[in-house]
Amino acid sequence: MQIRSPGVWACVALAVAAVLFALLATNPYHASLVVWILTNAVLAAALRFVLQIGELNIATAAFFGVGAYTTSICAVLLGWPFWLTLLLAPLVAALLSALFGWVTLRTKGPYFLLVSFAFTEVVRLIYTQINVIGGNSGLVGMFPPMAIDAHYPAFAAALLAAALFALYGVERSDLGRLFKAIRNNDAIPRSVGLNVVFLKVLCVVIAAAAVGLAGGLHAYANNVIAPSDFSYFVAILALAYVKIGGEGHPMGPVVGAAVLTLVGQRVAGISAWENIFYGAVIVVALLAFPGGLIGLAGRVRGLVRGGAR
């Protein structure tokens, strides 16, 4: 019952192009920029994924950190093999998010929002308090194995793109329809005998697994992680990507992440203006362009077509 649209193939082509670019780029900065954009895209897509059930999940930032720390602890402190460390990142993030979701999603109203923020800050606080994992300064020395070291950006880009397609696939499946039904009115899915709390938790778990994988890949791409990399600000940036790209369309987070990451390279480092820039993006997108760039493009196309007729 899936509708195949030409847009999907365009996205596949785009993903292949991104991986090829990361593989062939001669400037390592350009290759790592592709990984950075796709990492942000996965964060934004995961945030949007949970917005499907009507919840804003600030803990996206926390699960990103959990993935990165899981991989780094296993690789640096335990010396486990690369593939295993990378596999554990989404698993641990998913497991933790299941616990987190089970506690918070039984509540009604804004409690999920509030706890997801508190959770993110508390997890960050826990990292700083444990000396074995480096406390405030974090962990150093996660390197991909020699065999793929040279092509790591392409490898990471491929996995991140796969995560994006997986999220999209779930959204288009019957499960995705159930998520949307819950957002519209959760009494109706409940009335036909569905376990709404379980479905909500499942939604948060799927998003957390994608973000956990992104965290693990981020750890190997960056070679160093610190607690301050995983504050709630990560989720706020992801929110800005979703808002500027357009919440209504699966490509919205990707477009938003690409645009803002590239523009952000110019304002990064100037803390005051960086804040004002991202804040203004969120405010203006929310109030003036609720559909984001993709919604805007759709409106322009509609106008052009309307004029032609």
Partner 1 sequence: MEVFVQLLANTLQIGSVYVLFALGLTLIFGVMKIVNFAHGAFFTAAALVVTSVMPFATATLGLSLPASYLLAAIAAFAVVLCIGAVVFSFGFQYVLKDLNGSFILSIGLLLVLNGIYLAIYGGAPRSVPQVLPDTINIFGARLTEQRLALVIIAIVVTGGLYLLIERTRLGLALRAVAQDQEAAMLQGMPYRRVALSGFLIGAALAACAGVLMAPINAVTTVSGDEFLIKAFIIIIIGGLGSVAGAIVGGLFIGMVESVGGYFFDPSTATLAMFILVIAFLLVRPQGILGNAD
Residue numbers 232-261 binding partner 1 by CB under 8 A: 236, 239-240, 243
Smaller CB distance to partner 1: residue 166 or 282? 282
- Binding part of the chain for partner 1, among 70-78, 190-198, 210-218, 280-288 by CB under 8 A, reads 280-288
Smaller CB distance to partner 1: residue 42 or 47? 47
Smaller CB distance to partner 1: residue 107 or 173? 107
Rounded to 10 degrees, what is the CA torsion of 298, 36, 21, 9? -40
Residues binding partner 1: number (CB under 8 A): 42
- List helix spans (H) across the chain: 6-24, 28-51, 60-72, 82-104, 111-129, 146-149, 152-172, 174-184, 187-191, 196-222, 233-245, 252-267, 271-288, 292-308
Query: Which residues make Cβ contacts (< 8 Å) with residue 80, sequence separation at least 6?
Result: 74
Residue position matching structure tokens 């290759």: 31
Give, in order, the Cα–Cα distances in Å from 179 to each of 9, 48, 69, 258: 25, 12, 30, 27
Residue position matching structure tokens 């900065």: 29
Single residue of 2, 26, 131, 271 touching partner 1 by CB under 8 A: 271
Smaller CB distance to partner 1: residue 3 or 187? 187
Instruction: Work out whether 306 is an interface residue with partner 1 (CB under 8 A).
Output: no
Cβ(283)–Cβ(240) below 8 Å = no
State in angstroms the smallest separation of the CB of 45 from partner 1: 17
Contact flags string 186-225 toward partner 1, x per CB under 8 A = ----------------------------------------
Cβ(16)–Cβ(157) below 8 Å = no
DSSP state of 223: S
Instruction: Work out whether 130 is an interface residue with partner 1 (CB under 8 A).
Output: no
State in angstroms the smallest separation of the CB of 77 from partner 1: 22
State in angstroms the smallest separation of the CB of 274 from partner 1: 7
Instruction: Work out whether 133 is an interface residue with partner 1 (CB under 8 A).
Output: no
Single residue of 25, 194, 282, 297 touching partner 1 by CB under 8 A: 282
Single residue of 12, 17, 125, 303 touching partner 1 by CB under 8 A: 125
- The half-sphere exposure of 106 on its side-chain side, counting CA atoms within 13 A, is 5
- The half-sphere exposure of 258 on its side-chain side, counting CA atoms within 13 A, is 12
Cβ(73)–Cβ(227) below 8 Å = no
Smaller CB distance to partner 1: residue 18 or 58? 58
Token pair in block for residue 107? 């509540």
Single residue of 166, 274, 291, 298 touching partner 1 by CB under 8 A: 274
Cβ(26)–Cβ(191) below 8 Å = no
State whether residue 250 is helix, strand or coil. Answer: coil
Contact flags string 97-116 toward partner 1, x per CB under 8 A = ------xx-xxxxxx-xxx-
Instruction: Work out whether 276 is an interface residue with partner 1 (CB under 8 A).
Output: yes
State in angstroms the smallest separation of the CB of 125 from partner 1: 6
Residue numbers 29-68 binding partner 1 by CB under 8 A: 51, 54, 56
Residue position matching structure tokens 């500027």: 244
- The half-sphere exposure of 86 on its side-chain side, counting CA atoms within 13 A, is 16
Q: Which residues bind partner 1 (CB under 8 A)?
A: 51, 54, 56, 103-104, 106-111, 113-115, 117-119, 121-122, 125-126, 128-129, 236, 239-240, 243, 271-283, 286-287
